[in-house]
Structure 1
Amino acid sequence: MAQSTNRLSRSLGLWAIVGLGLGYMTPTVIFDTFGIVSDETGGVVPTAYVLALVAMMFTAISYGRMTRIFPSAGSAYTYTSETMSPNLGFLIGWSSLLDYLLLPLVNALIIRSYMNAFFPDVPEWLWVVVYVFGITTMCLLSMTNTSRVNGLLVVFEVVLIVVFLFLAGRALTSGGGNGTLFSTDPFWHEGVHLGLVITGATIVCFSFIGFDAITMYTEEAKSPNTVPKAIVLALVIGGSIFFVAAWFTQSLFPTMSGFSEDALQNSALPEIAFKVGGDLFKILLTSAAFAATVASSLASHASVSRLLFVMGRNGKGPLSRQFAFIHPTWRTPAKSVVFVGAVSLLAIPFNLDFIAAMINFGALVAFTFVNLTVVVYFAYRKRLVSSMGQVFTNIVLPMLGVAATVVLWVNLSPDSLHYGLVWFGIGFATLLVITRFLRRPLTITMDEEEIAEVRGEVEALED
């Protein structure tokens, strides 16, 4: 079937896309990382989340603006290719693949550890195979059903977070922790300084990774104009959940005294749940964390398969055609979905520490270049710098996004930087091969009529 007549199914509404973004972000992660962040910040976890949210908001605005101009599932890959260079766009897309491909694998590793804890006599590889098969099948058959299951799982984990807030509030009013909901100590207190908060913000910033993946569903949104709204909504809703949950938790546990060393170095969720609601609530909140991992698997698996699809659609040769294949019945990028599932099976031999060291590099590359594409497209190409408002919108805001990302670059782990640069080098070598040492240009394929229509509406507003 010709690729030009075979498109992804436009079946996702605004809240379905927001749910996929929230599923990717995993709201329960606030409890997993609470011990680590509280220790790093000196007991002001909510402040770290506020700072991280502000930093991410600049980049979210840039994503929203560029997806209006280029309503394609390729995200940073497409924006960079169209505004700067297809060759550079390929490298940005390749860099992003490192994170996006590994996140479904990370979720499979987490599920493997959960199931092994409950059923130690069952071979670990079996859990990985069963889990990856289930997630791959769901993403393969229908994007609509995938979003529905994801939505149910997100609702379940949010309900459990609300139950936690109720239990924590009751404990506070009974004299626990700070003894009140209205203390300012969780936000700032003596001994805290900005350096500590920035350190904490660099940790929790990566809790927000997922809002950017929403752009991967642009070609499956019922209307491309819903995607920019979904980006901001997912970021604001996710950030609000993080902040409120962090505020209650920090109020109830001003310090981490009484917690085990494991809670300070790994996940504090089980101990927080037990201290707030006993064994029953510990089981329920752990179940919510399990559901959050499944939701994240669905969202991350679906999004990276869309990136592979777009890169394959723009490539040349038999391999590219395989990734660009859309199943005629299911209307999903079937071979890309299966490939992501195959990569996720690497959860059998690898461990979480090794894979965790390899992520975040690609996300920071994407964040940096999405902000830069706003400057290039609006300020340089369209010359929309004739007023202070345009200068602020088209230069200052995106450059603030770049600055916020630079802070994260500075605090990136050496292992993540090392593996990221190795991956980037492999991508550059691949680019040289497919372009015959840059002599054969790459091309970008999108729905030009739809892009022209959307772009015209946006430029009319900009002018």
Structure 2
Amino acid sequence: MTTSAPTAQPVRLRRSLGLWAIVALGLGYMTPMTVFDTFGYVSDESGGVVPLAYLFALVVMLFTAISYGRMTRVYPSAGSAYTYASETIHPNVGFLVGWTALLDYLLLPLVNALLLRQYFEAFFPDISGWVWVSAYVALITLLNLWSITSTSRVNATLLVFQVVLILVFIGLAWGALNAGAGNGTPFSIEPLYHANTQIATVISAATIVCFSFIGFDAITMYTEEAKDANTVPKAIVLSLVIGGGLFFVAGWFTQSLFPSVEGLTEGTALPELAYSVGGMLFQILFVAAAVAAVAASSLASHASVSRMIYVMGRNGSGPISRSLSYVHPRFQTPAVAIVLVGVVSLFAAVADLDFVFSLINFGALIAFTVVNITVILHFAVRRREVKTAAQIVRNIVLPVIGVVLTVVLWLNISPDAMIYGLLWLSIGLIILLALTRLFRRPMRLSLEEDQVISTGDEGEDALLAEDRRRLDAAE
């Protein structure tokens, strides 16, 4: 009598994240302290209406957040826009969207390491930047390797610290305004609109600050690690609204207190702003909060991009794809993808911040546009849910508005961002041609963890289940 050996179960990501842990990861990724570091530049670009630029960007992102939430319910995968485009449009399109989005997701951990290098080089100019970058990247990589739970807890602690310091700044600014500084009152409408406000400059500034909102979309990368995948759409909206509220209020009080940015350093105004409202001690604490913000963003961005690489590797074939989709059996984290992100982040020791920033928004805005399009294709075209006024609004009007607004922002990004972004996209197209042998071989798509979850509509759930059966049969 013979018995067959039990089939080894594949190692999967651990479902350990609750709603607020995911929201905190999104907020950590967004880095609320950014509003102060970029204040001088954004105020000059917007014509002195920083909160209006954030408000415009927030409205654009809200339409896109709704689309992300809806597609997350349909395809609860860690692949985000890559998965939605692959499933709804075509796997080849999905690859190009994922490749373009990688430009932003891969660079943000590098940006954070670069910022930390600059902080420490200012204090210790005799020590090589390689030392700080290597030690910092190693620490962030090890924390991400250990477990998503530990990453989440450290991120939450750092996030609370920076939010507390932001609230203290607002309190000090309130007191200074009541004492006659700046506009002389916290209730002046000048930070939001004045006689010289121009819509063109506001949109231009909004293309800059939309970088600060990149993070709410990265929440979808944790779908396969959420205790309940139904909480992810709610976490997307919560992180966006809370983060947008912090940006708007902090921007309002800062602009009220500093209606003119003359004398402020354009790219690093944070220490000067802190000293102006609270003196030396508060400046030290505020800079410490900025370092905490960089660390929190590093943890969250490193975690999210490694999940995207993991899913893209899982959908490929060959030794490289198998390596990228490797999940550590003990820690249940995508170990090889995490280490790869760490290696890329080491280039922060030699990279130039202005050059890297010029690339960040290109892929994100393309991903946002495509996700809005997938909502239209999935619900309005494939499912033909356009029979009632409510369905037309949900499935056509709202995502079309999202497409238009994100395209407006995309067309207003800097020339450098457009040139280098298109170059990166061209490299992705060449890789796609090689992988598909000039489109003669189809891209493989394997969702594995993805399964249809309840949407609250029995008819829609049945249609989703039927779609999954068709996809499984096709595979």
Scaled to the shorter chain, the TM-score interval is: over 0.9
Alignment-derived partner of residue 99 in structure 2: 94
- Cα drift, residue 456 of structure 1: 7.7
Alignment-derived partner of residue 224 in structure 1: 229
Alignment-derived partner of residue 452 in structure 2: 452
Which residues in structure 2 correspond to 1:31-430 (within 5 Å)? 31-257=36-262, 259-260=263-264, 263=265, 265-430=266-431
Q: Percent identity between the aligned chains?
A: 61
Does 1:16 find its partner at 2:21?
Answer: yes
User: 2:196 and 2:379 mapped to 1: Cα distance?
Assistant: 44
User: 2:459 and 2:335 mapped to 1: Cα distance?
Assistant: 35
User: 2:251 and 2:342 mapped to 1: Cα distance?
Assistant: 34
Q: Is the 8 A contact 1:48 1:200 kept in 2?
A: yes
Moved more, 135-144 or 426-435: 426-435
- Cα drift, residue 249 of structure 1: 1.1
Moved more, 68-77 or 102-111: 102-111
Question: Aligned with 1:454: secondary structure?
Answer: coil
- Cα drift, residue 200 of structure 1: 2.0
- Cα drift, residue 354 of structure 1: 2.4
Equivalent AA in structure 1 for residue 423 of structure 2 = V
Q: Is the 8 A contact 1:105 1:346 kept in 2?
A: yes
- Cα drift, residue 453 of structure 1: 3.6
Q: Is the 8 A contact 2:207 2:410 kept in 1?
A: no
- Cα drift, residue 357 of structure 1: 2.4
Q: Is the 8 A contact 1:364 1:405 kept in 2?
A: yes
Q: Is the 8 A contact 1:69 1:458 kept in 2?
A: no
Q: Is the 8 A contact 2:39 2:50 kept in 1?
A: yes
RMSD, matched Cα: 1.8
Query: Which stretches in structure 1 are left out of the alignment for 5+ residues?
Result: none
Moved more, 119-128 or 145-154: 119-128
Alignment CA distance shift 1:197-1:349 (3 Å): closer
- Cα drift, residue 2 of structure 1: 8.3
User: 1:432 and 1:193 mapped to 2: Cα distance?
Assistant: 44
Moved more, 177-186 or 364-373: 177-186
- Cα drift, residue 57 of structure 1: 0.5
User: 2:56 and 2:319 mapped to 1: Cα distance?
Assistant: 46
Question: Aligned with 2:38: secondary structure?
Answer: helix
User: 2:176 and 2:416 mapped to 1: Cα distance?
Assistant: 41
Query: TM-score under structure 2 normalisation?
Result: 0.93
Query: TM-score under structure 1 normalisation?
Result: 0.96
Equivalent AA in structure 1 for residue 31 of structure 2 = T
Q: Is the 8 A contact 1:68 1:458 kept in 2?
A: no
Q: Is the 8 A contact 1:3 1:325 kept in 2?
A: no
Moved more, 311-320 or 344-353: 344-353
Question: Aligned with 1:357: secondary structure?
Answer: helix
Alignment CA distance shift 1:110-1:406 (3 Å): same
Query: Which stretches in structure 2 are left out of the alignment for 5+ residues?
Result: 1-5, 464-475
User: 1:351 and 1:358 mapped to 2: Cα distance?
Assistant: 12
Moved more, 29-38 or 12-21: 29-38
Question: Aligned with 1:204: secondary structure?
Answer: helix
Count how many residue pairs are aligned between Structure 1 and Structure 2.
458
- Cα drift, residue 100 of structure 1: 0.7
Alignment CA distance shift 1:3-1:15 (3 Å): farther
